[in-house]
Each structure stands twice: as C-alpha cells, then as structure tokens.
C-alpha cells in the first residue's frame, strides 16, 4: 500500500520555517509564552480588603488627638489608610500642628496601638467582609497561591481572630518589611515567598499607596472601593460579594494559564 505522506496544510508552518520577521515558529511560541502573564498568585491587603479595621484605627487615633487637644475627623482618617503606624502619627500631628521628640512619638504610637488592640482582640470571623471567604476558597480550588501583603504589624493577630491564617501560603506584614507602601517591598516579598514572578501576581488593595506599591512591583492590581479614588488600579470593585475568578479573568482580559493542578 502506498504510504500517504502527511504534508503541512496551507498556512501551516513547520517548526523551522521562518515568519516574515525572521523568527522561527518554535522561537515565536516561546516568546509569546514568556509574554503571557499568568495568574499564579493573589496578594491581599488586609485592612479595608479582608476586614474593615479603619473604624477601630479611627477610634484609637481620635482618642489620641483628643488627648492632645485637637479634633480628628473621619475625613482625616482617610489619609491614614494603607499608611504605616509611625507615618500615620506624623500625619495626625501635622493635622494638629504639633511637634514632638522621637521618644515621645514612640510612646504615643504605642498608646494608640494598645487601645486599637483592645478592639481587634474582640474580632470574630463574622467581621470578614462579604464574599472574601468564598473568593479565597475558589482561588485555592484552582491552585492559585494566596499571600497577605499588609503594612499592619497586627496582621497575624487579626488573621487568627478571624480564623483565616490557614488560607494564606505566605503572610508579609509590617513586621517583615522596612519600607512602607507605595514602596513595592511588601508585595515583592510576597511574590518571593511564594516563588512566583511579580508579573504573575494580582494584588487586591483599597488604598492609593497600596495600588502604587503594586504598580511599582510590576503587578496587576484590583482596587477595592470607589473607581474615582482608585483610578490607578486595573479595575475597581466595591467588594468581593459576588466576585469570582471568572470575573477577574474577564476584567484583566488575561489569557489565563492556570498553574499546575488548576481546573481551568
């Protein structure tokens, strides 16, 4: 019987054939692959993303301001979102028009934190923001790694209280970084601890400084809050209620390649 030779169909290129730009097919595929951003990890800010602790920070900063003799408003509190404890104190003192020595400032920050901790000690899983547990579970089911990237030194305690510690493959918090957001350190460390390239991470952030940090890390970023305020994010959602991996894919318009073990 005559052997039928399989011949490349029209428009089909053999691996060693060149494209008009001089690139071989195998190399072309490799280049495309390298440019494709996968979603291998999601890094979450804590305050304002997983739980609403801004109200407790506000009570504690307001108490300090009152003790120092000036008013601290909710509007003022907005300026402290995503900002480290000491930097928050600096802003607060600037609002009050006051100056203190470094040791005095450390004492004030500690005092504020002691009051803040009395509130977060009482937190329960009920305070997890709507849709967060479902979304985290969906990521896990799809083999996507999960990290925390928060400025808060109280992160481990909060995660324990709301019983979410086990969901995180890495926890980077205020205790493990030296540079505050918008410096990308917190997110780059998260990517490193997860052994994932920054370009394959997606950050979830509610603060402008945090979105800038994600951008500076070369990561894609989903804003949690108002699009008017968080315009630098790739896209903004009001919260995780009803948010799914499918919606994330669609919004980022990424040619999703899930890590091994993923369902998609």
| Catalytically active residues, by annotation | 45, 47
Number of shown-chain residues binding Mg ion (CB under 5 A): 6
- CB under 8 A, 24+ apart: contacts of 225-233: 225/48, 230/205, 230/206, 232/208, 233/205
Of residues 44, 58, 40, 42, the one with CA closest to residue 207: 44
Cβ distance to Mg ion smaller for residue 47 or 185: 47
Give the range of 22-30, 38-46, 95-103, 175-183 binding Mg ion by CB under 5 A. 38-46
Q: Closest distance between Mg ion and the C-beta of residue 205, in Å?
A: 6
Q: Closest distance between ligand BG6 and the C-beta of residue 107, in Å?
A: 15
Q: Closest distance between Mg ion and the C-beta of residue 150, in Å?
A: 7
The reply on whether position 234 binds Mg ion by CB under 5 A is no
Cβ distance to ligand BG6 smaller for residue 93 or 245: 93
Q: Which does 89 bind (CB under 5 to 8 A by kind): ligand BG6, Mg ion, none?
A: none
Give the range of 114-122, 188-196, 205-213, 236-244 binding Mg ion by CB under 5 A. 205-213
Cβ distance to ligand BG6 smaller for residue 146 or 148: 148
Cβ distance to ligand BG6 smaller for residue 53 or 200: 53
Among 207, 208, 214, 237, binds Mg ion (CB under 5 A): 207
| Binding interface with ligand BG6 (CB under 6 A) | 46-47, 57, 80-85, 88, 113, 150-154, 174
Q: Closest distance between ligand BG6 and the C-beta of residue 73, in Å?
A: 15
Of residues 104, 124, 45, 254, the one with CA closest to residue 246: 254
Q: For residue 82, is it left (φ>0), alpha (ψ between -120 and 50) or beta?
A: left
Q: Which does 38 bind (CB under 5 to 8 A by kind): Mg ion, ligand BG6, none?
A: none
Q: Three-state SS string across the chain, please?
A: CCCCCCCCCCCCCCCCCECCCCCEHHHHHHHHHHHCCCCCEEEECCECCCECCHHHHHHHHHHHHHHHCCCCCHHHHHCCCCCCHHHHHHHHHHHHCCCCCHHHHHHHHHHHHHHHHHHHCCCCHHHECCCHHHHHHHHHHCCCEEEEECCCCCHHHHHHHCCCHHHCCEEECCCCCCCCCCCCHHHHHHHHHHCCCHHHEEEEECCHHHHHHHHHCCCEEEEECCCCCCCCCCEEECCCCCCCHHHHHHHHCCCCCCCCCCCC
Give the range of 110-118, 135-143, 206-214, 220-228 binding Mg ion by CB under 5 A. 206-214
Residues 69-98 that bind Mg ion (CB under 5 A): 82
Cβ distance to ligand BG6 smaller for residue 85 or 145: 85
Among 48, 149, 223, 225, binds Mg ion (CB under 5 A): 48
Q: Closest distance between Mg ion and the C-beta of residue 104, in Å?
A: 27
Cβ distance to ligand BG6 smaller for residue 141 or 175: 175
């Amino acid at each position: 019987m005559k052997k039928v030779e399989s011949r490349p169909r029209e428009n089909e290129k053999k691996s060693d054939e060149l494209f008009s730009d001089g690139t071989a097919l195998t190399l072309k595929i490799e280049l495309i692959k390298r440019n494709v951003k996968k979603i291998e990890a999601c890094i979450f800010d804590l305050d304002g993303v997983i739980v609403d602790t801004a109200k407790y920070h506000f009570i504690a900063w307001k108490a300090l301001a009152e003790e120092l003799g000036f008013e601290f408003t909710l509007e003022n509190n907005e300026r402290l979102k995503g900002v480290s404890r000491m930097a928050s104190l600096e802003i607060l003192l600037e609002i009050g028009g006051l100056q203190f020595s470094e040791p005095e400032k450390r004492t004030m920050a500690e005092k504020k934190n002691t009051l803040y901790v009395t509130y977060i000690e009482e937190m329960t899983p009920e305070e997890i923001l709507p849709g967060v547990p479902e979304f985290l579970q969906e990521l896990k089911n799809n083999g996507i790694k999960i990290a925390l990237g928060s400025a808060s030194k109280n992160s481990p305690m909060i995660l324990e209280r709301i019983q979410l510690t086990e969901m995180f493959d890495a926890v980077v918090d205020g205790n493990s970084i030296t540079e505050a957001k918008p410096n990308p350190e917190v997110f780059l460390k998260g990517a490193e601890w997860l052994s994932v390239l920054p370009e394959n991470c997606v950050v979830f952030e509610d603060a402008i400084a945090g979105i800038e940090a994600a951008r500076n890390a070369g990561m894609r970023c989903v804003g949690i809050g108002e699009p008017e305020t968080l315009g630098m994010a790739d896209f903004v959602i009001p919260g995780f209620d009803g948010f799914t991996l499918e919606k994330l894919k669609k919004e980022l318009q990424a040619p999703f390649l899930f890590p091994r073990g993923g369902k998609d």
